[in-house]
Structure 1
Amino acid sequence: MEGLLRQHEWRIIDQSAVGVHFQALQSFGTDDTLCASVGAGKAPATARTWVHHNTIVLGIQDTRLPFLQEGIQFLTSEGYQPIVRNSGGLAVVLDEGVLNISLIFPEVEKGIDINRGYDAMWQLVQQMFADFPQPIEAREIVGSYCPGSYDLSIDGKKFAGISQRRLKRGVAVQIYLCVNGSGQRRAEVVREFYQLAKKEEQTKFVYPEVVPEVMASLSELLGVELTIADVMLRLLKQLKANSEYLYAGQLNEFEHDLFPGYYQRVMERNEKIAEMADQIS
């Protein structure tokens, strides 16, 4: 576990302040590009940070909901842009109070065990907030949106979820951190989405029964008003402590050439959702 976070060098690509026009689809295309590049040895281990405004990221299973059109209609009426991601998991909320961090590792030696990737991210978040007395747990929080065995929580309330994407000998471990704002309000949006998109229909796949009270932001849980910039500083300090060399970078030439292809795949996966949203607007 220690070995994965510890890298000779970390490149940081910070897209946390790009603004409202930076689309989440570009983010998923970028992470796939970085997986392929880092996996091919064309770039060092990379941490990428990103913030997207009023976006609901759906999982593949969410697109199979029986009344998806009604769910999409509700999300767009609330001012959210729905998109479908390529990594595992279910619906999550992204807005200006949610910081996303992707850690992209090369899959060297015998490969990276899936839990080892999750543990590295959990360890990083624990280190980032080690000055607070509250312990950060990793276990499934029942009633949260996009529940999983590595939900990060304080006092039983979830503030972060982790997913993984593996591609071309690269591994992207992705986390969304609810930094500020109301975790409960975000969960209410997702609960309403599922109520409208599933109704009482029996489905093969078990969708979460969202209980908004089990979700919160770090600011709410720690009793301190944190900003995205505060959390970025904490992240940079830990990446520096876990490497000999930390530097800010952008996509290199190899990655610039790869990006259009991966972005196109993400766009194609989202055609159906985009059509639904267009019909509504």
Structure 2
Amino acid sequence: MHDINSLLIQPQWRIIDQSTLGTQFQALQSFAMDDTLCTSVGNGISPAVARAWVHHHTVVLGIQDSKLPLLEKGISLLEKKGYRAIMRNSGGLAVVLDEGVLNLSLVFPETVGRIDINRGYDAMWELVRLMFADLPVEIEAGEIIGSYCPGSYDLSIGGKKFAGISQRRIRGGVAVQIYLCVSGSGSERAELVKEFYRAARGQVDTKFSYPDIQPGVMASLSELINMPLTIEATMLRFLQTLKKVGGNIQAGQLSPEELLLYESYYERVVERNQKAIRQ
């Protein structure tokens, strides 16, 4: 049963599904997309938006990662393993995206009053619990020590993390973003991030304490529920859940006005990324 005050209950959900765009769709485009939608929803031009996206072989670094003493070394290790590294425009630390990871963004308007940060996180946690309500598992929220990009809203089953949530706020819009490790090996992804930190930090003492990653505390949903789960099947659960809770859902693309906004946000994101990674 869901709470009637839940942020998931919106007059309308506009769905933007970018989960099948493949290797041509880059993570920097995604950040510009969410910034655009945040502005658009915040201005009242667009109803609340639910966006789904998948990126291939990408490690997304957080702002703290840009301060790693041997960052170039870490990035070249990732590149040797076939991953591209990019820097996101919000907090948090390194996360792995690949074809087995589904990313979801919920973009809410702060029109009626400020959305408390935990309320945004709770809405995403609630959505994921509802999406998998038919499975005999309990999805918990709380920091999983030893995971990559640890946070107080890590989602886990039986102490193993399969998802992490972040938030970004721009001009009256709030984007709550989650990466869901749907299939593949959670511990292999964690091993990659562990190797990145080992290379990028070296033996140098850093002021900021980077996570000591224990690959065994991370898993994919497929591993945790012991059955194969695909991005497509998870997408279906996502859309059905939003329809059940939120009511009116409608697919849409960017309007001409939003496309202009997107262009300028994309330029900004690319520029910031180049500075941060010193390419």
Residue 230 of structure 2: which of 227, 231, 234 is its match?
Answer: 227
Do residues 112 (structure 1) and 115 (structure 2) align?
A: yes
* SS of residue in 2 equivalent to 1:73: helix
1:26 equivalent in structure 2: 29
| Shift, 1:269, TM fit | 1.0
| Shift, 1:242, TM fit | 1.8
User: Counterpart of 1:226 in structure 2: which amino acid?
Assistant: L
Do residues 96 (structure 1) and 103 (structure 2) align?
A: no
| Shift, 1:252, TM fit | 1.5
Decide whether aligned partners of structure 1 residues 275 and 63 sit closer, same or farther in structure 2, where only a CA change above 3 A counts.
closer
Residue 11 of structure 2: which of 8, 11, 15 is its match?
Answer: 8
Residue 149 of structure 1: which of 149, 152, 159 is its match?
Answer: 152
1:202 equivalent in structure 2: 205
Separation (CA, whole Å) in 1 of partners of 2:252 and 2:107: 14
| Shift, 1:64, TM fit | 0.4
If the length of structure 1 is used for normalisation, what is the TM-score? 0.96
Residue 63 of structure 2: which of 56, 60, 65 is its match?
Answer: 60
Do residues 218 (structure 1) and 227 (structure 2) align?
A: no
Separation (CA, whole Å) in 2 of partners of 1:32 and 1:54: 22
* SS of residue in 1 equivalent to 2:151: coil
Contact 2:54 2:98 in 1 (8 A): yes
Contact 1:42 1:254 in 2 (8 A): no
User: Counterpart of 2:133 in structure 1: which amino acid?
Assistant: A
* SS of residue in 2 equivalent to 1:62: helix
1:171 equivalent in structure 2: 174
Which of structure 1's runs of 4+ aligned residues deviate more than 4 A?
Answer: none
Do residues 133 (structure 1) and 133 (structure 2) align?
A: no
| Shift, 1:275, TM fit | 5.3
1:36 equivalent in structure 2: 39
* SS of residue in 2 equivalent to 1:11: strand
Separation (CA, whole Å) in 1 of partners of 2:157 and 2:278: 39
Task: Give structure 2 stretches of 5+ with no counterpart.
Answer: none
Separation (CA, whole Å) in 1 of partners of 2:203 and 2:214: 17
* SS of residue in 2 equivalent to 1:160: strand
Contact 1:91 1:145 in 2 (8 A): yes
Contact 1:10 1:47 in 2 (8 A): yes
User: Counterpart of 2:242 in structure 1: which amino acid?
Assistant: L
User: Counterpart of 1:227 in structure 2: which amino acid?
Assistant: T
The two structures, once aligned, show a CA RMSD in angstroms of 1.0
User: Counterpart of 2:125 in structure 1: which amino acid?
Assistant: W
User: Counterpart of 1:212 in structure 2: which amino acid?
Assistant: P
Separation (CA, whole Å) in 2 of partners of 1:87 and 1:106: 19
1:279 equivalent in structure 2: none
| Shift, 1:273, TM fit | 5.8
If the length of structure 2 is used for normalisation, what is the TM-score? 0.97
Contact 2:66 2:277 in 1 (8 A): no
1:180 equivalent in structure 2: 183
| Shift, 1:75, TM fit | 0.5
| Shift, 1:257, TM fit | 1.6
Separation (CA, whole Å) in 2 of partners of 1:259 and 1:236: 25
* SS of residue in 2 equivalent to 1:4: coil
Separation (CA, whole Å) in 2 of partners of 1:22 and 1:189: 22
Cα distance per residue 1:123-168 (max 9 Å; x no partner)? 0000000011110000000000000000000000000000000001
Separation (CA, whole Å) in 2 of partners of 1:78 and 1:110: 46
| Shift, 1:55, TM fit | 0.2
Contact 2:87 2:277 in 1 (8 A): no
Separation (CA, whole Å) in 1 of partners of 2:24 and 2:275: 21
Separation (CA, whole Å) in 2 of partners of 1:130 and 1:14: 22
Separation (CA, whole Å) in 1 of partners of 2:257 and 2:244: 28
* SS of residue in 2 equivalent to 1:130: coil
Contact 1:28 1:266 in 2 (8 A): yes
Separation (CA, whole Å) in 2 of partners of 1:225 and 1:205: 38
* SS of residue in 2 equivalent to 1:166: strand
User: Counterpart of 2:211 in structure 1: which amino acid?
Assistant: P
Equivalenced residue count is 276
Separation (CA, whole Å) in 1 of partners of 2:15 and 2:84: 27
Separation (CA, whole Å) in 2 of partners of 1:83 and 1:197: 14
Contact 2:156 2:162 in 1 (8 A): yes
